[in-house]
Amino acid sequence: MKKFDTQVQYLKYKVLREVAGKAWDDTLYEKILDIPKIIIPGPTPTTRCCIYKERAIVEERIKIAMGGDKSNPNVIEVIDLACDECPVAGYEVTDVCRGCLAHRCQDACKKDAIYFDHNQKAHIDKSKCVECGKCSAVCPYGAIVNFKRPCEKSCKVKAISMGPNKAAKIDNDKCISCGSCVYQCPFGAIMDKSYIINVIDILKKSQHNQKYKTYAVVAPSISSQFVHAKLGQVISGIKELGFFTVVEAALGADMVAYKETQELIEKGFLTSSCCPAFVMYIKKNFPKLVEHISHNLSPAAEIAKYIKETDPTAKVIFIGPCTAKKAEFQQEIQKQYVDSILTFEELQALFDSKDLDIYSLPEDVLDNASYYGRIFARSGGLTDAVKQALIELGRTDFEVKPVVCNGIEECRMALLKVGKIDIGNFIEGMACVGGCIAGAGCLTHGEKNKAEVDKYGMEAYEKTIQDAIKVLKK
Amino acid sequence: MKKVVVCIGSSCHLKGSRQVVERLQELIAQHDLKEEVELQGTFCMGNCQKGVCVKVNETLFSVSPETVDSFFQKEVMGK
């Protein structure tokens, strides 16, 4: 049964599963050195030059699965050993060039970097080329290819470059921990730090929820993830792991939608605060716009705060698609509400570390939020919720002019215009293209995910935001 | 001071905990009991099959939107 998009995710999962399995029965430190051999049994290497390098890389993965380098504040880390040091040639003319007469490549090049040999075949003068890609776009044979490293290509905030040892290097001053490189690196050389051991520790110390209760707060994008199991079975599975109960982060989203709308009316201009990578992007690149970031907590922290108000000894673990969330919860303000974070990848590893067959479990229920809280998981959802909140608050006199930014590049374009031209009064920013359903910690990143989230939204028992949050008012 | 805690976990929510909360809020206001009764929500009391779960000073009751009025008379007003 296919659970992941790529073999890289599968390998990462196997490491997490082994580490988690041993953490459950307290044998991790005793058996940690056995894990590389379990994963790379040999004798023939499968991905690298020899099994010893493969095992050495697994060791590095184990380290990251156990929380990674504590001296590095970034939750995204490069495994130098695993980096294949892809060439960084940029645009190159390949053998596919037929030496045609048209020379569109030359016409397209503004820098006069294209020249031809005696066979009319094109070449690029690298001393002139600025890597704009115009030649590549016009070649009728697709003969000009960009040999940019996949990690660099995926990183829209330009935080990745080649380090002195040729391995990829992340600039922490630019990185927003969105995880796109983690998902895109074909060699699995970039990983997000895992807190899976921390979560197991919290669950174990609760002594079956006797000492304190452990709550799972799940992101609405979960609806598109465990495609072969019913959502209700996943909920049962989470409880089987030892969680006391499961609460929708979408209820926090309902709460945020109301508060954020009121804040928007009051301030007149706002950028959203639910995507931690977008917030980090503004802080690092547009410090002057920081004052416009909504002061609301993220939906996960908002609901975690409510849980802790009703049950002060509670521990709250957020389960979602997001690697940037792992960075968010390290901040003092979030830390008091959210105790740890799991991605969907890590949740799958946790299920399997306990040999839990979720497909055979009975279906439990998950229903706390409204349609609007649930569709926060996709681009445009927050804006829909704000529009609805204006209606419910009876403030249709206030006109929201939303700018829905799908992906960090669109966010950048919108932020550049703020204060220069009138673009609107509410910027909804999502770092991942598609929204949370395309988060780096997702098991699958399919086209159908948006439809799945909308369907899940429609199934909500509460149809309005107000109905969903009514139960919370004292 | 009476503490009334209503379960707003998924299972109880689907059985009508919102309606129960709303009605209790109304009744508390009607009888001017805001100072005497503290209404609270919580996620799950571990008794999902008996939902909607309501606790009055740590005693568990099973309430539904239909029985909320009589429950209020007996357990909140009565004692």
Cβ neighbours of A455 (radius 10 Å)? 13
Among B14, B22, B40, the residue with its CB nearest the CB of A474 is: B40
Q: What is the pLDDT of residues A33-54, one digit of tens each?
A: 999 999 999 899 988 999 999 9
Question: What is the pTM for the complete model shown?
Answer: 0.91
Residue A261 forms part of a structural domain: yes
Query: Please, is A430 exposed, middle or buried when counting C-beta atoms within 10 Å of its C-beta (0-12, 13-18, 19+)?
Result: buried
Bridge partners, A406 (sequence order): A430
- ipTM value for the complex: 0.90
Q: What's the distance, CA A154 to chain centroid?
A: 13
Six-digit token string for B62 = 């099973």
Can you tell me the distance from the alpha carbon of A358 to that of A239, in angstroms, rounded to the nearest whole number?
11
Residue A182 forms part of a structural domain: no
A368 neighbourhood in chain B, CB within 8 Å: 8-10, 13, 43
A215 close contact with B: CB closer than 8 A: yes
Parallel, antiparallel or unpaired: strands A245-248 and A270-271: unpaired
Residue A474 has pLDDT above 60, yes or no: no
Residues A389 and A459 in one domain: yes
Inter-chain CB proximity B40 and A307 less than 8 Å? no
Residue A152 forms part of a structural domain: no
Please state, for a pLDDT cut of 70, what percent of chain A lies above it: 99
Residue in A closest to B38 by C-alpha = A474
Inter-chain CB proximity A471 and B38 less than 8 Å? no
Residues A240 and A302 in one domain: yes
Inter-chain CB proximity A461 and B13 less than 8 Å? yes
Q: What is the nearest CA distance from A309 to chain B, expressed in angstroms?
A: 9
Those residues with Cβ within 8 angstroms of residue A67's Cβ, 6 or more apart along the chain or in another chain: A193, A194, A195, A197, A198
Question: How much is the pLDDT for A183?
Answer: 94
A254 close contact with B: CB closer than 8 A: no
B22 neighbourhood in chain A, CB within 8 Å: 470
Inter-chain CB proximity B44 and A366 less than 8 Å? no
Among B6, B11, B22, the residue with its CB nearest the CB of A365 is: B11
Residues A347 and A380 in one domain: yes
Question: How much is the pLDDT for A325?
Answer: 95
Those residues with Cβ within 8 angstroms of residue A205's Cβ, 6 or more apart along the chain or in another chain: A211
What is the full per-residue pLDDT of chain B (79 aa) written as tens digits? 888 999 999 999 999 999 999 999 999 999 998 888 989 899 999 889 888 999 998 899 999 999 999 999 998 887 6
Give CB contacts under 8 A, 24+ apart, made by A109-115: A109/A134, A109/A135, A110/A134
pLDDT-based confidence at residue A2 (cuts at 50, 70, 90): low
Residues A97 and A205 in one domain: no
Q: What is the nearest CA distance from A215 to chain B, expressed in angstroms?
A: 9
Six-digit token string for A429 = 């920013």
Question: How much is the pLDDT for B58?
Answer: 87
Closest C-alpha to A302, from A337, A261, A263, A265: A337
pLDDT-based confidence at residue A266 (cuts at 50, 70, 90): very high
Please, what are the domains in chain B?
2-77 (3.40.30.10)
Residue A473 has pLDDT above 70, yes or no: no
Cβ neighbours of A392 (radius 10 Å)? 17
Question: How much is the pLDDT for A188?
Answer: 95
Residues A104 and A54 in one domain: no
Question: How much is the pLDDT for B46?
Answer: 87
pLDDT-based confidence at residue A446 (cuts at 50, 70, 90): confident
Q: How many CB pairs under 8 A join A and B?
A: 55
Can you tell me the distance from the alpha carbon of A434 to that of A379, in angstroms, rounded to the nearest whole number?
5
Residue A385 forms part of a structural domain: yes
Inter-chain CB proximity A368 and B9 less than 8 Å? yes
Q: What is the nearest CA distance from B74 to chain A, expressed in angstroms?
A: 21
Residue A185 forms part of a structural domain: no
Torsion of CA A132, A137, A142, A146, to 10 degrees: 20
Q: What is the pLDDT of residues A20-30, one digit of tens each?
A: 999 999 999 99
Cβ neighbours of A426 (radius 10 Å)? 23
Q: What is the pLDDT of residues A285-324, one digit of tens each?
A: 999 999 999 999 999 999 999 999 999 999 999 999 999 9
Residues A56 and A95 in one domain: no
Residue A316 forms part of a structural domain: yes
Q: Which of A82, A115, A147 is the last residue of a domain?
A: A147
Residue A153 forms part of a structural domain: no
Q: What is the pLDDT of residues A247-264, one digit of tens each?
A: 999 999 999 999 999 999
Can you tell me the distance from the alpha carbon of A385 to that of A373, in angstroms, rounded to the nearest whole number?
7
Question: How much is the pLDDT for A228?
Answer: 83
Question: How much is the pLDDT for A81?
Answer: 94
A318 close contact with B: CB closer than 8 A: no
Residue in A closest to B23 by C-alpha = A471
Mutation target to probe the A interface, by most A beta carbons within 10 A, among B4, B6, B7, B10 is B10
Residue A117 has pLDDT above 90, yes or no: yes
Among B14, B21, B43, the residue with its CB nearest the CB of A307 is: B43
A364 neighbourhood in chain B, CB within 8 Å: 10-11
B13 neighbourhood in chain A, CB within 8 Å: 367-368, 461, 471
Closest C-alpha to B46, from A41, A63, A189, A213: A213
Can you tell me the distance from the alpha carbon of B69 to that of A387, in angstroms, rounded to the nearest whole number?
36
Q: What is the nearest CA distance from B43 to chain A, expressed in angstroms?
A: 7
Those residues with Cβ within 8 angstroms of residue A254's Cβ, 6 or more apart along the chain or in another chain: A369, A370, A372, A373, A385, A465, A468, A469
CATH number of the domain residue A105 falls in: 3.30.70.20
Give CB contacts under 8 A, 24+ apart, made by A1-6: A1/A228, A3/A348, A3/A443, A4/A345, A4/A443, A4/A444, A5/A183, A5/A443, A5/A444, A5/A445
Q: What's the distance, CA A429 to chain centroid?
A: 14
Residue A430 has pLDDT above 90, yes or no: yes
Residue A427 has pLDDT above 80, yes or no: yes
Residues A59 and A112 in one domain: no
Backbone angles phi, psi at A309, to 5 degrees: -75, -35
Q: What is the pLDDT of residues A195-248, one digit of tens each?
A: 999 999 999 999 999 999 999 999 999 998 988 889 999 999 999 999 999 999
Residue A455 has pLDDT above 60, yes or no: yes
Residue A452 has pLDDT above 60, yes or no: yes
Question: How much is the pLDDT for B1?
Answer: 83
Residues A62 and A97 in one domain: no
Residues A335 and A444 in one domain: yes
Q: What is the nearest CA distance from B38 to chain A, expressed in angstroms?
A: 8
Question: How much is the pLDDT for A343?
Answer: 96
Residue in B closest to A469 by C-alpha = B18
The domain of A6 spans 1-66
Q: Is residue A289 within 8 Å of A267, Cβ to Cβ? A: no
Residue A323 forms part of a structural domain: yes
Bridge partners, A430 (sequence order): A406
Residues A139 and A254 in one domain: no
Residues A290 and A421 in one domain: yes
Residues A370-380, mean pLDDT to the nearest whole number: 92
Which amino acid, residue A42? G
Among A310, A365, A467, the residue with its CB nearest the CB of B40 is: A310
Q: Which of A80, A115, A147 is the last residue of a domain?
A: A147
Can you tell me the distance from the alpha carbon of A250 to that of A257, in angstroms, rounded to the nearest whole number?
10
Residue A93 DSSP SS3: strand
Q: What is the pLDDT of residues A150-203, one digit of tens each?
A: 999 999 999 999 988 889 999 999 999 999 999 999 999 999 999 999 999 999
Question: How much is the pLDDT for A363?
Answer: 93
Closest C-alpha to A165, from A84, A242, A230: A84
Give CB contacts under 8 A, 24+ apart, made by B32-37: B33/B76, B36/B1, B36/B2, B37/B1, B37/B2, B37/B3, B37/B4, B37/B76
Inter-chain CB proximity B43 and A365 less than 8 Å? no
Can you tell me the distance from the alpha carbon of A416 to that of A421, in angstroms, rounded to the nearest whole number?
9
Inter-chain CB proximity B10 and A470 less than 8 Å? no
Q: Is residue A159 within 8 Å of A149, Cβ to Cβ? A: no
Question: How much is the pLDDT for A195?
Answer: 97
Residues A121 and A236 in one domain: no
Inter-chain CB proximity B17 and A461 less than 8 Å? no
Q: What is the pLDDT of residues A346-368, one digit of tens each?
A: 999 999 999 999 999 999 999 99
Q: What is the nearest CA distance from A445 to chain B, expressed in angstroms?
A: 27
Instruction: Please tell me the total count of domains within chain A.
Output: 3
Q: What is the nearest CA distance from B36 to chain A, expressed in angstroms?
A: 13
CA dihedral (A282, A284, A288, A291) positive or negative: positive
Q: What is the pLDDT of residues A388-414, one digit of tens each?
A: 999 999 998 999 999 999 999 999 999
Q: What's the distance, CA B58 to chain centroid?
A: 12
